[in-house]
Amino acid sequence: MSEPRTALITGANRGLGHATAAELRRRGLRVIVTARDGDAAAEAAARIGPDVRAHPLDVTDPDAAGRAAARLGAVDVLVCNAGVLLDAGDDPLAVPLEVVERTLAVNLLGGWRVAQAFVPGMVDRGWGRVVFVSSGTGSFSAGLWTGAPAYSVSKAAVNGLTTMLATCTKGTGVLVNAVNPGQTRTRMMPMAERTPEQAAAGIADAATLPDDGPSGVFLSGGREIGW
């Protein structure tokens, strides 16, 4: 019997990331919960189960992902979930560009940085799954949402990153996809009806795709949607 795969989830101390970590553990994966605050990561891991590991990982720290990769060893599944929504209600012509920069630093560069730290190892080992938690607000086919312009642009950029990484890992055994979890009841969107546990199922599905599964696609509710 083969060893369980190891999954690392960013921003997993609460909400959707925490629910995704719990779902992946339920599916038999070894799980590493990461968060900017190490104590918060440890507390979240303990809530999921005694066998769940925790590690501090601030995705905006230029060196943190590399340190984590060196200390944690092989990671087979990477879920880039850490994200912020700082500009709800702003207008593209008025949103402070400092807010745009902060949003991109977490939502785009954070995931990019973590991918650079962990995906090369997956390629070397010939197997991996990478999931970027995106949003319908960043879909060109649906129309970018102007009510949170920094957030929307950051998610459109995440979608672009997904397609690039899928292209450069084609044929290596690594699958890279983005998931739109839909409106989910988290701190970002407390009035949403969909629970984190419900939304986490779709992310976990993308993180456990079979070897003949798709790569470089945008998934929602188990189906491909337009970029």
The interaxial angle of helices 38-48 and 15-26, nearest 10 deg, is 40
How much of the chain, in percent, has pLDDT values that exceed 70? 96
Distance CA 13, CA 33 (A): 7
Q: In whole angstroms, how far apart are CA 175 and each of 4, 78, 88?
A: 18, 10, 32
Distance CA 111, CA 109 (A): 6
Residues noted as catalytic: 151
**In the structure encoding, which two tokens stand for residue 86, read together?**
């700082």
How much of the chain, in percent, has pLDDT values that exceed 90? 90
The string of pLDDT tens digits covering residues 158-193 is: 999 999 999 999 999 999 999 999 776 666 666 657
Assess whether pLDDT exceeds 90 at residue 196. Answer: no
- Looking at residues 26-48, what average pLDDT do you find? 97
Assess whether pLDDT exceeds 80 at residue 107. Answer: yes
Residue 117, phi then psi, degrees to nearest 5:
-80, -35
- The full length of the chain comes to 227
pTM of the predicted model, to two decimals? 0.95
- Looking at residues 121-146, what average pLDDT do you find? 96
Q: In whole angstroms, how far apart are CA 70 and each of 61, 113, 209?
A: 15, 14, 26
Give the model's pLDDT for residue 192: 59
Assess whether pLDDT exceeds 60 at residue 225. Answer: yes
Give the model's pLDDT for residue 1: 45
The string of pLDDT tens digits covering residues 58-91 is: 999 999 999 999 999 999 999 999 999 999 999 9
- Looking at residues 130-157, what average pLDDT do you find? 96
